[in-house]
Amino acid sequence: MVKDLIAVSSLSMMETHSLSRLIAEISADLGNPGLLIQLLALMSCFLLAWLLSRSIQRYFATVDQSSGVLKIGVESFSRVLWPLLALVFLFFAKLILGKFQHTGLLKLFFPILSSFALIRFSFYVFRRAFVRDGTVGNALLLFEKVFATLVWLALVLHFTGMWESIFQALEEIILPIGKSKVSLLAVLQGIASVALTVVLALWISALLEARLLLIPNMHSSLRVVLSRLGRAIFILLAILISLSLVGIDLTVLSVFGGALGVGLGLGLQRITSSYVSGFIILFDRSLSIGDLVTVDKFSGSVTQINTRYTVLKGSDGVESIIPNEMFVSNPVQNLSLTDRSVVLVTDFTVAYDTDLDSLFPALVELVSQVPRVSANNPPSAYLLRFGADGFELRVSFWIEDPESGRTNVISDVNRAILVLIRERGIELPFPQREITVFQAQAKA
């Protein structure tokens, strides 16, 4: 009991001595003209960092206006630029002034500015790694607030000298894990190392994806597959590195590999097939973002190609989530694989006394003037057959933007043909039926 009291008292004396030493060093500089030099150096570091960060932002804002991804990256990194530059200038100022005088004020601001730069840089990494659509979620905002609070709390513990004592207390707490015993500090360090390496891997993969978007001649499917493969490889390396840092033997992963093989054999075949099919689709470039496809009973435009599923958005706005396995094992109708041009037809019947030699050129000229009808492939008019009620005709035409809809352009063509038929007085025959009613005579 006495030993514990002596240890606690000595620990508190060390903390008070650490805090009082910092206060005493700053107080000693108050009566020294060197304090003014430290203030001027501190203000100069902040001003130079602000001017240099503004210059760098203006340079990147004017050097490449066509690169939207680079511009967004510079704008998001601009908040990190100032504290990092100020920290660099402050480090050299403390290094130079330390040879001639006390630098207590600079020593005080150095950990404060380091914590501020760490928070800003961490926010930049988090948002580059987890934000995809430009909208920051509430969960990420809450996590950023918690992270900033922990950093400032660690700074306070550093100033008060309690940091080492907390580390020692965490190391003394032993947790039994199976047959071995691990300290709470080792567990927290392992969690922190895994989280740090995974976040860095996601950040690097986001940078890789942004860099791939800057390549104009690369196919969209190749960009997606390279970004997905890069992310998977970086995350795998991050997990392996973090496990090695914690001290876990990587040979234990063989047990996990065996369990995964058993799981694949028992019930994960369809899921695994969808993942493999996703990479096959991206590699062979059979599908791309924006393609109009039909598979099974689903039709629509491809809006997303993920590793497990593909999202089709129909003309009615309904989105269908299709497993990638269906695109590999089933026949797929791609309306825009090599050419986005699509042929459309409309059929109608005219009377037998119609002059087809003058009607066909008029139909071709009329349909050519309808908006969205392709000028590269002119329309055509055909006589299909001699029907029971008249000539059965067909007008075919091409469009180059099927994603804008097909029913609307067919309606425009039909309305134009109707106007022409009425102007020429052409009869549109229709089947007529006669019904004869026989009335039985009553017997006398």
257/282: higher pLDDT? 282
What's the mean pLDDT in 30-34? 64
- The highest-confidence range among 5-14, 123-132, 379-388, 399-408, by mean pLDDT, is 379-388
State the pLDDT confidence band at 217, using cuts at 50, 70 and 90: low
Query: Above 80 in pLDDT, residue 246?
Result: no
Contact status, residue 120 vs residue 147, Cβ threshold 8 Å:
no
Contact status, residue 417 vs residue 428, Cβ threshold 8 Å:
no
Give the pLDDT score at 86: 85
- Residue identified by tokens 């001290």 is 247
Is residue 45 packed enough to be buried (19+ CB in 10 Å), middle (13-18) or exposed (0-12)? buried
C-alpha closest to that of 294 among 265, 240, 335: 335
State the pLDDT confidence band at 68, using cuts at 50, 70 and 90: very low
User: What is the C-alpha to C-alpha distance for residues 422 and 426, in angstroms, rounded to an integer?
Assistant: 6
Give the pLDDT score at 414: 92
User: Tell me: the pLDDT tens digits for 182-213?
Assistant: 777 777 877 888 888 888 888 888 777 777 76
State the pLDDT confidence band at 232, using cuts at 50, 70 and 90: confident
For residue 369, the Cα-to-chain-centroid distance in whole angstroms is 42
pTM for the model:
0.52
C-alpha closest to that of 416 among 377, 379, 387: 379
Vertex 368, ends 365 and 371: CA angle to 5°? 140
User: Tell me: the pLDDT tens digits for 355-401?
Assistant: 888 899 999 999 999 888 888 888 999 999 998 888 999 999 988 88
User: What is the C-alpha to C-alpha distance for residues 126 and 118, in angstroms, rounded to an integer?
Assistant: 12
User: What is the C-alpha to C-alpha distance for residues 327 and 311, in angstroms, rounded to an integer?
Assistant: 12
Q: Provide the token pair at 243.
A: 């496990």
74/164: higher pLDDT? 164
State the pLDDT confidence band at 415, using cuts at 50, 70 and 90: very high
